[in-house]
Amino acid sequence: MSCPVPCAAWVRRGVAKETPDKVQLSEEELKGLIEEAQDRLGDGAGGSDEGQTADDTNAPVPGSSTKSSQNNEEMSDHELDEYDLDNYDEEGYTGDLKLGDSLATLAVYGSNENDPYITLKTTEQYEQEDFLIKPSDNLVLCGRVDKDCCSLEVHVYNHEEDSFYVHHDIILPAYPLSLEWLNFDPSPDESTGNYVAVGNMTPVIDIWDLDVVESLEPVFSLGGKKEKKKKKKGKKSLSSEGTVEGHTDAVLDLSWNKQSRNVLASASADNTVILWDMAVGKPATSLTLHTDKVQTLQFHPFETQTLVSGSFDKSAVLYDCRNPQDSHRVWRFSGQVERVIWNHFSPCHFLASTDDGFVYCLDARAEKPLFTLKAHDEEVSGLQLSSQIKGCLVTSSADKYVKIWDILGDRPSLVHSRDMKMGVLFCAACCPDFPFVFAFGGERDGLRVWDISKISAVNEVFGNRERLILASASSVASSSTASSSSNDLETAMES
């Protein structure tokens, strides 16, 4: 059975708690959850009476039903006479082997400790080891869609031990569309945490604690239907549009600002981009420069104020979030924009992919693209640069292929191509600690992790290439681009 994985994300090593907490509900809390669930189910009880009346109208006439049922019973009894079911249990067994003879040589031990044939006496030790998260473990997150429910799966990946397994999962209220890891904790002590923001088919963004197992509800949510209802009751004079805080349609993508940690950007099918202040749980500003669904967005890795977004209106918009309506730049493409990513090796450059199979490399200071690449036959749904290897680009597509490119010097060349046998591919994500390890999600076979360094062609091209040192990259890049690109963002240009 196919279980699509529409979104995936990585968590860096050493972030997760070694022993995650387990939710333990008291009787009062459990009782409260049951009552709340009953109240929710009670909202749809009005339709049950209609269903009962409908069933009554379709009920047969009593007199005719009894006659027909009696005739059916007489016919069925007559047809079963040939099988002689009354004497079925009296038939003797014709074989010579008896049950006692077959069990005579079997020995039964009181416990597994005394049984010499059982080498694995207990599984508790192995279960405890799997529950612990080592400092050398990465977490891989994916939204999984089953037939009956949607869930967030938390996988443990250890590169040295070559281990990969599901640690725990979280039941989600709706179809997941995007995942974004963040460490911002809204509590007053300003401590860092281990959270993931989930965008789904509803306008609500849920933030879950990854260090808590068996959690039933998110730590907090951004936007919500409950708030709308309360405001409508309290302020009857206001229109419905004025009472909405947040999105009004599905949340398609999320991006967390690593410099200003309380800011989260969301892209929605309602044609808007919202910048959220997670410290207060409310929108800080709404960006309305797109005219169709906003499919993708990403904050600049080093500049706090810079954001780029892509839309179904075949455009990408670069914002200076200090004054986004007046200070922005627009690029037009041949197809709908599927993904946008910043090049953390060249901070003035970003890449955009479209639904007609193209990948564009753009300079934030120029109108024309640096290069245009026909990467796939169908939409490019995954667009990822290696976390540490300069020029290593990986793309995934609805044409079922993953391709590895060398884009060093703005001259892209194909290094390797592979059919992943996962059907249509929906997403790709690069491990932050291992530059050649990527995770992919598709329409079947769940989540797959692939170490592309095992391919000879990849080693020939990227094996000796210099790696990015993450500790010093941010300081160097921020200082080099602060003066060059900030002035260009002050002017509004369209191309």
Structure confidence by residue, pLDDT tens digits, 351-405: 999 999 999 999 999 999 999 999 999 999 999 999 999 999 999 999 999 999 9
For 227-277, write each residue's pLDDT tens digit. 444 444 444 433 344 456 899 999 999 999 999 999 999 999 999 999 999
Phi, psi (degrees; rounded to nearest 5) at 243: -95, -5
**CA 191 to each of CA 78, 251, 277: distance values in angstroms, whole numbers, following the listed order:** 78, 27, 17
Q: Kindly state the helix (H) or strand (E) to which residue 437 belongs, with its residue range.
A: strand 437-442
Quick count: other Cβ atoms within 10 Å of Cβ 459? 13
Enter the pTM of the model.
0.76
What is the average per-residue pLDDT within 24-51?
A: 65
What is the average per-residue pLDDT within 421-449?
A: 95
pLDDT of residue 357: 97
Alpha carbons 470 and 434: distance in angstroms, whole number: 12
pLDDT of residue 95: 57
DSSP string computed for 265-333: EEEETTS-EEEEETTTTEEEEEE---SS-EEEEEE-SS-TTEEEEEETTSEEEEEETTSTTTSEEEEE-
For 68-116, write each residue's pLDDT tens digit. 555 555 555 666 676 676 776 665 555 555 655 565 666 677 677 777 7
For 140-186, write each residue's pLDDT tens digit. 999 999 988 999 999 999 999 999 999 999 999 999 999 999 999 88
Q: Which of 445, 457, 326 is nearest to 403 (CA)?
A: 457
pLDDT of residue 382: 97
Q: Confidence band (pLDDT; 50, 70, 90) for 191?
A: confident
pLDDT of residue 375: 97
